[in-house]
């Protein structure tokens, strides 16, 4: 099966970059990314590539190469669905905040809406690919919806989870560790569908890096990959508290255990906690699946990865309060960073949001600088927590477009994102601008402690 037209429903952090690379590597395939959000599509079509809706190093170059040639962004969803032979579903699957499974299960309403829209519009056979992170057996639900349209169209459902790390997504797409494709290999049409997607990726990915499994294994692999990575972060953060209590240095401990070839050094950087759209959501999804199957011990095990992460964020905020003489009322705390990690403007589940919320509960003023996150987004993040009125959030949270302005007059600085540029600042100038004593709470362990203490800062790192 030679695919000539692809549609991707969802122009977010996964759909946009993934389709851009697929279009770049397959110039003979028309790739159309559709979304009902007209402003998002307008941003993807913006003539200034620096104003794309997503910041990801290298993304602008790939979009510049393919957009208008065989990569298109549109709000004409039905037209793109009808024309496509292969359709990616790449919509948001947030954690449910209502009903059964509230706080743990994935909310699949957008996925179901996509399936119903495809069923309504399609007049020819389609391959439908799950790209969103979904719980096991979602493909079965999609297949059920599509198979009962009554219009005689054949639908083949594949699972093709993404394994992208924000900040390195373009490299992850260009040189992936693996591409995972799950499908029904028991039928000839299923085999053809799997091979069609294999052929698309084979244009740049070595075939030995393309794995094919059944659908259920593919869906579960995504959840467990993120759970294992998050587990490492929570494990080293648990040890960071032990290090602080005993006088050990968590960075030295991490280096020592990371040199063990059985363990390796990745995801052993102690910090204020993990964030992003995947880790917490996927672990909670895994917990819900385990609970629904009566596997309570399994559910409790994975749930504690989340509890440890929440504890680390709370502990960081409480340490700031305790160090500042047990009160931050009327004091100014400067934040460097709001994004959940460097090289992205994504703030979903960022530790900064929760630390700011806790400090604002104590009536501290927060002044924030982040090189890529807008003031509007920061306010929206706090408003989404809904722990205080929106006007109160606006009163206590101030944003600056210059880091030195954010730090002027601050009683303490908290580093919440590991942007490389923070290491290059004139720290003597910053020290001169701050209230004395000047405290640094390095939640990402990115700054040079010895150099800061030489200037006069009181340095508080994680696990040291």
- Please give the positions annotated as active site: 162, 222, 278
Phi, psi of 98 (to 5 degrees): -155, 160
Query: Which residue reads 């706090």 in tokens?
Result: 382
Helical segments of 169-260, H only: 169-174, 188-201, 215-246, 250-258
Phi, psi of 211 (to 5 degrees): -105, 135
Distance CA 246, CA 249 (A): 9
Distance CA 401, CA 121 (A): 46
73 three-class SS = strand
In Å, what is the CA distance from 240 to each residue of 152, 237, 244, 322, 463? 59, 5, 6, 18, 4
Tell me the helix, strand and coil percentages in the chain, rounded to 5: 45, 15, 40
In Å, what is the CA distance from 330 to each residue of 327, 359, 366, 396, 410? 9, 11, 10, 10, 11
Strands ordered across the beta sheet of 86-89: 71-74, 30-34, 5-9, 86-89, 126-130, 155-159, 179-182, 210-213
How much is the CA Rg of the chain, to the nearest whole Å? 24
User: Tokens representing 134?
Assistant: 């979904």
Phi, psi of 415 (to 5 degrees): -95, 115
Kindly report the number of other CB atoms within 10 A of residue 106's CB atom. 24
Distance CA 260, CA 238 (A): 19
User: Tokens representing 96?
Assistant: 């449910």
Distance CA 275, CA 287 (A): 18
Query: With contact defined as beta carbons under 8 Å apart, do 96 and 106 qualify?
Result: yes
């Amino acid at each position: 099966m030679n695919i000539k037209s692809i549609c991707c429903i969802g122009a977010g952090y996964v759909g946009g970059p993934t389709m851009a690379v697929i279009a770049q590597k397959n110039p003979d395939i028309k790739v159309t990314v559709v979304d009902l959000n007209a402003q998002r599509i307008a941003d993807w079509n913006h003539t200034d590539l620096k104003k794309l809706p997503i910041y990801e190093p290298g993304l602008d170059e790939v979009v510049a190469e393919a957009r208008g040639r065989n990569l298109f962004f549109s709000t004409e969803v039905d037209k793109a669905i009808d024309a496509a032979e292969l359709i990616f579903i790449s919509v948001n699957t947030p954690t449910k905040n209502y009903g059964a499974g509230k706080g743990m299960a994935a909310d699949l309403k957008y996925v179901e809406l996509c399936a119903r829209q495809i069923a309504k519009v399609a007049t020819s056979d389609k391959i439908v690919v799950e790209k969103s992170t979904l719980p096991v057996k979602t493909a079965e639900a999609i297949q059920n919806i599509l198979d009962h349209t009554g219009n005689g169209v054949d639908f083949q459902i594949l699972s093709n989870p993404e394994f992208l790390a924000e900040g390195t997504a373009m490299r992850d797409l260009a040189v992936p560790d693996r591409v995972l494709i799950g499908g029904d290999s028991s039928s000839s049409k299923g085999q053809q569908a799997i091979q069609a997607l294999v052929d698309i990726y084979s244009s740049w990915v070595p075939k030995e890096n393309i794995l094919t499994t059944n659908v259920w294994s593919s869906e579960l692999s995504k959840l467990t990959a993120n759970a294992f990575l998050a587990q490492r972060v929570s494990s080293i953060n648990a040890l960071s508290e032990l290090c602080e209590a005993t006088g050990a240095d968590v960075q030295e401990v991490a280096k020592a255990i990371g040199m063990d070839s059985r363990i390796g050094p990745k995801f052993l950087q102690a910090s204020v906690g993990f964030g992003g759209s995947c880790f917490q959501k996927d672990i909670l999804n895994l917990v819900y699946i385990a609970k629904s199957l009566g596997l309570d011990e399994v559910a409790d095990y994975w749930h504690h990865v989340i509890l440890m992460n929440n504890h680390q964020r709370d502990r960081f905020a409480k340490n700031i309060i305790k160090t500042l003489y047990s009160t931050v009322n009327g004091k100014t705390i400067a934040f460097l960073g709001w994004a959940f990690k460097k090289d992205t403007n994504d703030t979903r589940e960022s530790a900064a949001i929760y630390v700011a919320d806790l400090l604002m509960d104590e009536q501290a003023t927060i002044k924030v600088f982040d090189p890529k996150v807008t003031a509007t987004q920061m306010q929206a993040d706090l408003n989404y927590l809904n722990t205080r009125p929106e006007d109160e959030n606006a009163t206590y949270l101030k944003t600056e477009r210059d880091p030195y302005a954010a730090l002027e007059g601050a009683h303490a600085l908290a580093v919440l994102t590991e942007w490389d540029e923070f290491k290059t600042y004139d720290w003597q100038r910053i020290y001169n601008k701050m209230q004395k004593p000047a405290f640094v709470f390095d939640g990402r362990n990115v700054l040079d402690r010895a150099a800061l203490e030489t200037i006069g800062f009181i340095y508080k790192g994680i696990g040291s």
